[in-house]
Amino acid sequence: MKKYFWLCVFLLPFSLVSRSWARDAEEALADLNRLSPKEREMKLVEEAKKDGSLNWYGNIEITTMGRLNDGFQKKYPFIKAQYFRGSGVKLINRILMEARQKKFEVDVFFLPFEFLPSLTKDKLLGRYSSPQRAFYAPNLIDKEGYWAAAALNYANMAYNTKLVPRADLPKSYDELLDPKWSGEVSIDMEPDRALLGWLKVWGEKKTEAFLHGLVKNKVVVRRGHTLQTELLCAGEFKVASELYAYQVTRMKREKGCPVDVNYVNPVSASITPLSLARQAPHPYVAALFVDFVLSEEGQKIIVASGRIPTRKGVKAKYEEVSNLEERGVPMIIVTPEDGEKWQSVSSRLVEILRK
């Protein structure tokens, strides 16, 4: 997605050729699932007390990270947990730097899904079969155990309800190219989630033509989906071509903003994956934290932030973003494999918006 990512991935294998690590987290945890559920829990907590601390990274909202951290420490007060929040590229560079220096500090991380295939190939993710995986649909967990989706993120069109009557809403993305929307539509400078969904459904040729069409129609390019949502609320433009449904709904419900989501085909649904670091210095605490985030208790903390949960039986905070598939919304799940497949094309197409 960013040139820095590809540079780091290119350099990584060379730097790790001569590594000789001790028993990794994956191996340390493999014996747990041979125990009965009760014995497993006792063993995990016993070993976690010896680990004593947790260090985790993420690119999700700082408030959500704080709530998860506090909830985990409240449940397990014998563990000192701390976290680091940064952009996807910043986190990747930090992880790769630790790998090159063989100085591993991270136990668990939330990372953009498109980075997972490369990190898996470079043996930086550890397989972990959390028993909580039984409560997740097959397309929301990696079959090998390298990740589980802790939340979903829907990227789709949104609009200012004061400026656009429902009868005038675009019924397709192509309608945004009509001259009547000239200068009234926004897009993020890095529309990664929506862009990957468009590429998966439309293919490269149509997606490229669409972006050129937006630019020709004087699309407003801004950086940051939260900022765009705020600007849409303020009426800086009438329609946003791709915002996050949970953010739009949260602004509408909690701040009274005159905004709403306009679900048109395709709705790009991307995962927020949770992964165990293969060289986690505190493997048992790491496993305990993964179990906690994927548990009903952890998922309810994610729900409180307005995000969309993935665990069966846990509903989203807002009805507007709940059970979209059951309501006939044309959703497409963008997988880590899709991210890897379309990565170079996506990076090239984003440059159209920067000219």
Consecutive sets of 10 residues in the chain, 355 residues long: mean pLDDT of each?
A: 43 40 76 87 94 94 94 97 88 89 91 88 92 93 94 95 96 97 95 94 97 97 93 97 94 96 93 94 96 97 91 91 82 89 92 88
Residues 14, 108: one domain?
Answer: yes
Residues 17, 166: one domain?
Answer: no
Say what the pLDDT of residue 276 is: 95
Residues 300, 340: one domain?
Answer: no
Q: Which residues pair with 82 in a beta bridge?
A: 55
pTM of the model: 0.84
Residues 254, 132: one domain?
Answer: no
CA pseudo-torsion sign 315, 249, 229, 199: positive
Residues 290, 208: one domain?
Answer: no
Q: How many domains does the chain have?
A: 2
Say what the pLDDT of residue 56 is: 97
CATH of the domain at 96: 3.40.190.10
Say what the pLDDT of residue 5 is: 43
Range of the domain at 190: 153-269+329-354
Whether the CB-CB separation of 332 and 269 falls below 8 Å is answered with: yes
Residues 26, 141: one domain?
Answer: yes
Residues 238, 165: one domain?
Answer: yes
Angle 147-150-152 (CA atoms, 0-180°, nearest 5)?
110
Note if the bond before 266 is cis, omega within 30 degrees: yes
Residue 161's contacts (CB-CB under 8 Å, 6 or more residues apart) are 258, 259, 260
Alpha-helix residue ranges (DSSP H) falling in 223-354 = 225-234, 245-255, 283-294, 296-304, 336-350
C-alpha span between 69 and 327 (Å, rounded): 34
C-alpha separations of 21 from 18, 92, 101, 281 in Å: 10, 20, 12, 12
Say what the pLDDT of residue 177 is: 98
Say what the pLDDT of residue 23 is: 63
Residues 247, 276: one domain?
Answer: no
Say what the pLDDT of residue 114 is: 85
| Helix (H) / strand (E) containing 160 | strand 148-160
Whether the CB-CB separation of 58 and 85 falls below 8 Å is answered with: yes
Say what the pLDDT of residue 199 is: 96
Angle 115-345-224 (CA atoms, 0-180°, nearest 5)?
65
Residues 12, 137: one domain?
Answer: yes
Say what the pLDDT of residue 78 is: 96
Say what the pLDDT of residue 15 is: 39
3-state secondary structure (DSSP) of residue 116: helix
Residues 264, 282: one domain?
Answer: no
Residues 274, 348: one domain?
Answer: no
Residues 110, 13: one domain?
Answer: yes
**Which residue type, as a one-letter code, is found at position 227?**
L
